[in-house]
Amino acid sequence: MCKRASSDQNRMFSSIAGQYDFLNHLLSLNIDRRWRRELAKYARVKPGDNILDVCTGTGDVAIRFAQADDAGEIVGIDLSEEMLQIARWKTKRKAPGEKIKLLRVDALKLPFRDNCFDIVSIGFGLRNIGHYKKGISEMVRILRGGGRLVILEFSPPRGSLFGTCYGLYLDLIIRTVVGVISGSASAYRYLCTSIANFLEPEEIIELMKEEGLKELYSERLTGGIAYIYRGEKRIEQ
């Protein structure tokens, strides 16, 4: 249920910060923009909701939330300062006002009190936080009762013709050809391997269930190469 996070991995993400948006577009066949819109929709933002975007990277999900008139304060966190520098530049261009606060924070050690956010989101970051169960537990801890956890993540390409073709695309095109041409072969190898070895959708739902979330829901996207997951925190009596 977990994998070991390392300083080497953090250095890798920092080193490819300038390519990160391109990587996401490439790995998703350029459909990730629509997926992020879906993520924001499934979060069901209510007027004044405070939102935390975990592993915000270059800030795309946080910016998506900031463009909704109803959102309250939005906090984006990431462990890579290089990613956050790009996010700061993008938010100045794309996010209205001063809605987004960006912080360098470890997703496994969230420095927020219990029950303080209405929505917690994580887009394409669960694979990379080192310990899936602990990461989800931390995100649930800081949710208020009735708050929503929404996850957008790539899915292992298995079980269908489309999934098999996507697996070959990752292995032959992304991992081998693009990795070599880009000069970041190790980063592309890691990203492709992390997708191929990631949890099955039902395993993610089970982890969310174990943390006490209710109204659990998953949405299969684009032939199953990605999923959105949503769960609601129970209101304590």
Q: Which tens digits make up the pLDDT trace of 169-202?
A: 777 777 776 666 556 677 777 878 888 889 999 9
Identify any residues that bridge with 96 across adjacent strands, giving them in sequence order. Answer: none
What is the H or E stretch that residue 21 is in? helix 20-27
Considering the chain, what percentage of its residues have pLDDT values greater than 70? 84
Question: What is the tens place of the pLDDT at every residue in 27-45?
Answer: 677 788 889 889 999 999 9
Q: Is 90 exceeded by the pLDDT of residue 18?
A: no
User: How many whole angstroms separate alpha carbon 110 and alpha carbon 135?
Assistant: 9
pLDDT band at 2 (very low <50, low <70, confident <90, very high): very low
161-173 mean pLDDT: 78
3-state secondary structure of 53: strand
Task: Name the CATH topology of 7-156+198-233.
Answer: Rossmann fold (3.40.50)
Q: Are 145 and 236 in contact (CB under 8 A)?
A: yes
What is the H or E stretch that residue 94 is in? helix 81-94
User: How many whole angstroms separate alpha carbon 121 and alpha carbon 87?
Assistant: 16
Every domain of the chain and the residues it spans: 7-156+198-233
Average pLDDT over all residues of the chain: 85
End-to-end CA distance of the chain: 31
Q: Are 119 and 51 in contact (CB under 8 A)?
A: yes
User: How many whole angstroms separate alpha carbon 218 and alpha carbon 227?
Assistant: 7
Confidence at residue 3, expressed as pLDDT on a 0 to 100 scale? 41
In the chain, the amino acid numbered 173 is I
51-80 mean pLDDT: 91
Considering the chain, what percentage of its residues have pLDDT values greater than 90? 50
User: How many whole angstroms separate alpha carbon 73 and alpha carbon 79?
Assistant: 20
Confidence at residue 99, expressed as pLDDT on a 0 to 100 scale? 82
Confidence at residue 168, expressed as pLDDT on a 0 to 100 scale? 80
Q: Are 205 and 227 in contact (CB under 8 A)?
A: no
Confidence at residue 234, expressed as pLDDT on a 0 to 100 scale? 93
The pair of three-digit structure tokens given for residue 29, joined into one six-digit string: 């066949």
Question: What is the tens place of the pLDDT at every residue in 102-137?
Answer: 999 999 999 999 999 999 999 999 998 889 999 999
